[in-house]
Amino acid sequence: MNVQPIKQRFGIIGGSPLLDRAIEIAAQVAPTDLTVLITGESGSGKEVMPQVIHQLSARKHGPYVAVNCGAIPEGTIDSELFGHEKGSFTGAHEARKGYFEVADKGTIFLDEVGELPLSTQVRLLRVLETGEYIRVGSSKPQKTNVRVVAATNVQMLQAVQRGTFREDLYYRLNTVPIHVPPLRDRKDDILLLFRKFAQDAADRYRIKDAITLAPDAQQLLTAYRWPGNVRQLKNIVEQMSVIEQDRRITSDTLRTYLPEEVTSMLPAVAGKQGVEGINERELIFKFLFDMKSDLNALKEQVRAMMNGQPMSAPAAPAVPELVMPIQSVPAGTLSIQMPRTEDPHDIEHTEVQESLSLQDKEKELIKKALSRHRNRRKAAAQELGISERTLYRKIKEYDLQ
């Protein structure tokens, strides 16, 4: 399939085979009414695919409604999606249509669908299975004829395993999967996007000359990992277009606009990229095992000093595989023996009790993230890898106001 006309129509820049494949699938599935799940990292451009699907479908003359599920408070999301009756809750002064009613005979795009509460997931599953929904405060089912396209930047199978997303709803949404590749997997497209954003910025802000890149800056631009993907690249180009007087950008200048990559407060485990594929419990236990290893090494050093032996340089700690199953670790306390140094010939041991509470660790990480970002919740949520709404709920839960 020739996807070039589709790229020109929707302003899609790039020639990556992975991107072309995503567009090709979107075009092929558009004439059907199949539910589509679009996956990809934040900022990679997932929001373009639902528009391609809608405009190439028989529903193109019907409404297109885009809903950011992560931006709607949990207490009102059912009302937003399915509507409510007058007097159904405080402030409901009149009946209101929900997005599924407004999008009838059209397409509804549910962005960040992984952030939906479990109670709302049950309602959504009913709409997908039967086309029926019930307004908040009503007992009368209503029908809707709507095509659902969903998108998420979270690992849905992990969410299913954690119990935060219904398995039946996942497979119902994932009838046709489309993956939008991250920018680091589209290195040949980075310079094309840079030139496009630079010219757009020059036109928008009425700047005579668009910025260009020196050869060393081009190498740095393509070598950077781009954790924020296309959105991050566009923001940086706009910043340089407005701020820099010299329209020729060198690597030294570009480096000042590229933030250090801090994808997570948690370290990566050997053989994994970042924290993908690893749940929070495994990471916390890895911390504790590493801590125990360090304390055991310190104990050996102290014992050697007490026996008059020279201290040896500590070996560089390797990142070990967990030698015992996570399930076999007790959920109470971790007992670590440490020597006392009063009598070199009579080494007593004391126990250091360390809390293994997941809630304590989670609370500590949240406090550190908020402190690091000076209580800017959006930045803290991004570093923790959770939504801003989830962070707000955790702050209230742990009384971190």
The CATH number for 247's domain is 1.10.8.60
Per-residue pLDDT at 98: 96
Residue at 196 is within a domain: yes
Give the pairing type, strands 141-143 and 132-134. Answer: antiparallel
- 84 and 14 together in one domain: yes
pTM recorded for the entire structure: 0.65
Residue at 83 is within a domain: yes
Q: Judge contact between 188 and 15, C-beta under 8 A.
A: yes
Residue at 31 is within a domain: yes
Per-residue pLDDT at 347: 42
- 135 and 164 together in one domain: yes
- 145 and 235 together in one domain: no
CATH code, domain carrying 154: 3.40.50.300
The vertex-331 CA angle with 340 and 392, nearest 5°, equals 110
- From residue 126, alpha-carbon distances to 33, 129, 331 in Å are 16, 5, 38
The structure tokens 């991250």 sit at: 182
- 156 and 188 together in one domain: no
- 103 and 226 together in one domain: no
Residue at 260 is within a domain: no
- 168 and 88 together in one domain: yes
- 159 and 196 together in one domain: no
Please name the amino acid found at residue 375.
N
Q: Which of 173, 98, 169 is nearest to 138 (CA)?
A: 98
Last residue of some domain: 164, 181, 198? 181
With H, G, I as helix, E, B as strand and everything else as coil, classify residue 342: coil
Last residue of some domain: 181, 198, 227? 181
- Domain housing 48: 4-181
- 173 and 191 together in one domain: no
Per-residue pLDDT at 9: 96
Q: Which of 301, 285, 302, 288 is nearest to 336 (CA)?
A: 288
**Is residue 77 exposed (0-12), middle (13-18) or buried (19+ Cβ within 10 Å)?**
buried
Residue at 318 is within a domain: no
- 54 and 177 together in one domain: yes
DSSP state of 317: P
Count: domains in the chain: 4
Residue at 319 is within a domain: no
Please name the amino acid found at residue 85.
E
**Is residue 237 exposed (0-12), middle (13-18) or buried (19+ Cβ within 10 Å)?**
buried
Per-residue pLDDT at 381: 81
Per-residue pLDDT at 307: 67
Please name the amino acid found at residue 169.
L
How far apart are the two ends of the chain, measured CA to CA in Å? Answer: 54
Last residue of some domain: 181, 199, 217? 181
- Please list the pLDDT of the chain residue by residue as tens digits (401 residues): 899 999 999 999 999 999 999 999 999 999 999 999 999 999 999 999 999 999 999 999 999 999 999 999 988 999 999 999 998 888 888 999 999 999 999 999 999 999 999 999 999 999 999 999 999 999 999 999 999 999 999 999 999 999 999 999 999 999 999 999 999 999 999 999 999 999 999 999 999 999 999 999 999 999 999 999 999 999 999 999 999 999 999 999 999 999 875 443 334 433 334 434 444 555 565 566 667 666 777 777 777 666 666 555 544 444 444 444 444 444 444 444 444 444 444 444 444 455 556 777 788 888 888 888 888 888 888 888 788 888 888 888 878 86
**Is residue 47 exposed (0-12), middle (13-18) or buried (19+ Cβ within 10 Å)?**
middle
Residue at 324 is within a domain: no
- 338 and 377 together in one domain: no
Residue at 321 is within a domain: no
- 104 and 217 together in one domain: no
- 112 and 138 together in one domain: yes
With H, G, I as helix, E, B as strand and everything else as coil, classify residue 108: strand
Q: Which of 27, 30, 123, 128 is nearest to 79 (CA)?
A: 123
**Is residue 301 exposed (0-12), middle (13-18) or buried (19+ Cβ within 10 Å)?**
middle
